[in-house]
Chain A
Amino acid sequence: MGRQLKLNLFIYPGGHHEAAWRHPKSRPDRLLDIRFYQELAQRAEAAKLDAVFYADGPALESNVQYATRFRLEPFTWLSAIAAATEKIGLIGTASTTYLEPYNAARLFASLDHLSGGRAGWNIVTTGAERAARNFGLDEHPPHAERYSRADEFVQVVGKLWDSWEDGAVVSDAGTGVFADTSRIHPIGHQGDHFRVEGPLNTPRSPQGRPVYVQAGSSADGKAFAAKHAEAVFTAHQTLQSAQDFYADIKALAAAEGRDPEKLLVLPGISPYLGSTEAEARALRQEFDELTQPEYGLGILRKLLGVDLDGLKLDDTFPDDLLASAGRESSRSQLLLDTIRRERLTVRKVLHRFAGARGHYTVAGTPLQVADEIQLWFENGAADGFNIMPPWLPGGFEAFADEVVPILQSRGLFRTEYSARTLRGHFGLDRPESQYSPAGQTTQQLQGAHA
């Protein structure tokens, strides 16, 4: 079998279009009903998707006045999804800035156990300034410091996951020995950011270590991903941009001494489907028209760091304004490039942004969307995608019913699961514990990758 796509369902309450909840196809009445999400995950599992992904941040997001910006805590949520599914992976976001490594290690090890090896960790340093003030800080730690902490955080979590070797639980009723304590290790970590004695209070989980996922595309983020991540979530508006990113991150991983194939690049894609392209575009237009411009303007102001007061919705952006705009984050750079390239009006930018917060939206027939996916997949832009339905549940059902079968018929996507764990779906090896004899040998061979 040739190389196949990795496809995740990225679930946002209500869907990824910020006005989705206003559309008659949506079910805003079910957004706090776990069965709604369980049914979606079951739908994704029936379509043989690799994983469901739930993003999170420890602060109320902006625009809750006009959009479904609340959050359910991801581990609570993913545990309920785990109980309703059997094969599909479960990826959740956990912040290295606002958690302790011991907490994170327990949460993921527990999720991995109770799901039978399906957990994945979307490692974020948290972008939201607002989170700082929920955790006793006056301001958000600077980018470099967050990544320095994240680097050590990930190492500590890896040590904790490894602190129980495989087979440490012997459970011998005859001798009365439950665990072989020669195979449970205090980690004794002493670093710049953390001091953690260990061991973890949870046995080593089915995957050994849940899958490491990362989603920042800044320079620090890419360096971090190249070192630690096994899957990268990323946002690209064009094939070219995605190809550049793909080549870059794979080269960085190779430079870290890693197999580039063990770092999957998964851009986001938000598909609008119709029986004709015109019908699909009209559908997208329906959603965009429901957007409240007030909030989008605030986001634009923040991302670009410029005053937009003189602009009308149907004006294009003046060049001098674009020249003075900030380009600190990968997301603002992306936005500036798009505005300049397509000479977008303010309203169009707002619509583009409302669609999937800067991710790639595509409107077309199922065949066109499948073609686009194949194009990116076969031309060095993606190993798969995060599917970001504009609205739920219909936006995903259309993709599962109409696009997935095309990809399957082309041999680009599995028709049955061949594995039971997320590592299995993603084609990733199960790591040895760094404290086991085998793990120590592997470490010496591979260098210090934790």
Chain B
Amino acid sequence: MAAHSGGLTAVAPSGSSRTAPRTGAGSPTVSVRGLIRGFGPKGVLNGVDLDIAPGEFVALLGPSGCGKSTLLRALAGLDHDVKGSGVINVPDRVSVVFQDSRLLPWDTVLGNVTLGLRDHDADAKALADAQEFYRDLKSRTAAAGRDPESIKILPGIVPVIGDTAEEAQALERELDRLIKPEYARIQLAKTLRVAPEDLPLDRQLPDNLPSEDEIEGAKSRYTLIVQLARREKLTVRELIGRLGGGRGHRTFTGTALQVADAIQEWFDGGAADGFNIMPPVLPSGLEAFVDLVVPILQERGLFRTEYTGRTLREHYGLGRPDNRFAGADGQALASIGSAF
């Protein structure tokens, strides 16, 4: 439970206000006392008191403009620089599903519902997304009458490896700093269909981006980029760093052990049959992966120590396809005669 003042100028909506005393069992989950809100000269909420018990379901009814959304936004700590006073106690984690146009059109329902959760656990969300993709594609493969094992799902990962986690992060920052943001911002603006000036480098992406339906071309890459930025609350500069690092692919930054753990988590967790390793720098990035991560994966029995096959199909465990024409009652060169 956290106490805050509903996003008033004086107090940040999260962080410092989370140090408020926790309430005991049986206490309301949400508690509002004397909440006053106004925009300009107009008063909207005038001394609202509200308690919501754990598990309680509350609906606010009233005509348009009576202050329902204002109360909701105050609870979620979304409004900054508004006039008002009062005390608000809400749980540490608050999620808001906006009505119609305030929904994030690039995201799933689950993504909208869990919007507030995600910056606490971006890794878990990325894994969940990969798992969902994996399940979806395997089931579509089965639905197409194929063995789901006959399609290998190989996400791209950019391993940024250091002797310590700090070293790895320092390497990632060093690489990001080498990117010239001017050009990358123009490219990003093209992808997002906005003007480059609408993407200040040290601000997050603007709210009013086009929906995926309006994007011609690489729709899924558009969605992926927007989701990544929203999920991790990245500034444009940080986003450019991420995209420069792997053009939207997943970056694993850490020690060899941490990278191996992450790979295993995705592999064992139904998110991947394997990976496309995308070294951030060649050849050193590949060498680090091959020398440091591969042995750990081999040690754990997760990766071969010798080739058992000679063909790519054999490496992937895919069968050699039958020839659809062999033995079939169709035309053959021999029956065409002199033309061939």
Contacts of B334 in A (CB 8 A): 65
CA distance A286 to B199 in the complex (A): 77
Answer whether residue A64 sits at the interface, using C-beta atoms and an 8 A cutoff. yes
A60–B340 CB distance below 8 A: yes
Across-interface contacts of A176 in B (CB, < 8 A): 178-180
B333 at interface, CB cutoff 8 A: yes
Rounded to whole Å, the gap between the CB of B283 and the closest CB of chain A is: 17
Closest chain A residue, CB of each to CB of B180 = A176
The answer to the question of A298 belonging to the interface, with a C-beta cut-off of 8 Å to chain B, is yes
In the complex, the answer to whether B180 meets A298 with C-beta atoms within 8 Å is no
User: What's the Cα separation between A62 and B338 when bound, in Å?
Assistant: 9
Cα A64 to Cα B178 with chains together (Å): 57
Count of A interface residues, CB-CB < 8 Å: 7
Q: Which of B178, B180, B340 contacts A62 (CB 8 A)?
A: B340
| Interface residues in B, total, Cβ within 8 A | 8
Bound together, the chains give a CA A65 to CA B340 distance in angstroms of: 8
| Closest residue of A by beta carbon distance from B334 | A65
Contact between chains at B333 and A64 (CB < 8 Å): yes
CB-contacts of A26-63 with B (<8 A): 60, 62-63
Question: For B178, B333, B338, B339, which residue has the most chain A Cβ atoms within 10 angstroms?
Answer: B338
- Taking CB atoms and an 8 Å cut-off, the chain B residues in 317-340 that contact chain A are 333-334, 338-340
Interface residues of A in 158-214 (CB under 8 A from B): 176
Docked CA distance A66–B340 (Å)? 11
Chain A residue contacts of B178, Cβ below 8 A:
176
**In the complex, which residue of chain B has the Cβ closest to the Cβ of A61?**
B340
**CB–CB A65/B338 < 8 A:** no
> For chain A, what secondary structure do more than half of its interface residues adopt (helix, strand, loop), or is it mixed?
loop
Residues of the B chain whose Cβ atoms lie less than 8 Å from the Cβ of A64: 333, 340
Number of A-B residue pairs, CB cutoff 8 Å, is 13
Kindly state the separation between the CA atoms of A148 and B338 in the bound complex, as whole angstroms: 32
C-alpha spacing A176/B244, complex, angstroms: 14
**What is the CB-to-nearest-CB distance from B187 to chain A, in angstroms, rounded to a whole number?**
14
Residue-wise, chain B 77-103 has the 8 Å CB interface mask toward A (1 for contact) of 000000000000000000000000000
- A263 to B228 Cα, complex, angstroms: 58
Contacts of A65 in B (CB 8 A): 333-334, 340
Measured in the bound complex, the distance between the Cα atoms of B339 and A60 in whole Å is 11
Contact yes or no, B338 A298, CB < 8 A:
yes
> Which of chain B's residues have a CB closer than 8 A to the CB of A62?
339-340
Bound: A21/B170 CA distance, A: 62
Query: In chain B between 174 and 188, which residues have their CB closer than 8 angstroms to a CB of chain A?
Result: 178-180
Question: With the chains together, A64 CA to B334 CA distance in Å?
Answer: 10
Name the distance in Å between A310's Cβ and chain B's nearest Cβ.
Answer: 17
B70 to A: closest C-beta gap in Å: 47
Q: Which chain A residue shows the least CB distance to B340? A: A62
Closest beta carbon of chain B to A75's beta carbon, Å = 20
- How many Å lie between the Cα of A196 and that of B180 in the bound state? 30
Chain B residues within 8 Å of A63, by CB: 340
Report Cα–Cα, A176/B178, bound state, in Å: 7
For the complex, give the distance between the alpha carbons of A192 and B178 in Å.
Answer: 45
User: Residue-by-residue, is B122-159 near A (CB-CB < 8 Å gives 1, otherwise 0)?
Assistant: 00000000000000000000000000000000000000
CB distance from A64 to the nearest CB of B (A): 7
In the docked arrangement, what's the CA distance between A438 and B333, Å? 55
Q: From A175, which residue of chain B is reached at the shortest CB distance?
A: B180
Closest to B339 in A: A62
With CB as the reference atom, state the residue of chain A lying closest to B179. A176
The smallest C-beta distance from B4 to any residue of chain A, in angstroms, reads 43
How far apart are the CA atoms of A366 and B35 in the complex, in Å? 107
Q: Please, how many angstroms separate the alpha-carbon atoms of A423 and B291 in the complex? A: 42
Closest residue of chain A to B178 (Cβ to Cβ) is A176
Q: Contact mask A284-304 → B, CB, 8 Å, 1/0? A: 000000000000001000000
Instruction: Report the minimum CB–CB distance from B106 to chain A (whole Å).
Output: 30
Task: With a 10 A CB-CB cut-off, give which of B179, B180, B339, B340 has the most chain A CB atoms.
Answer: B340
A56-114 at interface with B (beta carbon < 8 Å): 60, 62-65
Distance in angstroms from B247 CB to nearest chain A CB is: 16
List the A side residues contacting B180 at CB < 8 Å: 176
Closest to A176 in B: B180
A63 to B340, CA, bound (A): 6
Q: How far apart are B66's CB and chain A's nearest CB, in angstroms? A: 55
Distance of B14 from chain A, by nearest CB (Å) = 36
Q: Specify which chain A residues have a CB less than 8 angstroms from the CB of B179 in the assembled complex.
A: 176
Q: Which residues of A contact B338 (CB under 8 A)?
A: 298
Bound complex: CA A298 to CA B339 (Å): 8
A62 CA / B333 CA spacing, docked (Å): 10
Q: List the A side residues contacting B340 at CB < 8 Å.
A: 60, 62-65
CB closest chain-B residue, reference A294 = B338
What would 11 more interface pairs be, CB under 8 Å, given A176-B178, A298-B338?
A60-B340, A62-B339, A62-B340, A63-B340, A64-B333, A64-B340, A65-B333, A65-B334, A65-B340, A176-B179, A176-B180
Closest 4 CB pairs of A and B: A176-B180, A298-B338, A62-B340, A176-B178
**What residues make up the interface of A, taking CB atoms closer than 8 Å to B?**
60, 62-65, 176, 298
List 5 interface pairs A-B (beta carbons < 8 Å), by A numbering: A63-B340, A64-B340, A65-B333, A65-B334, A176-B179
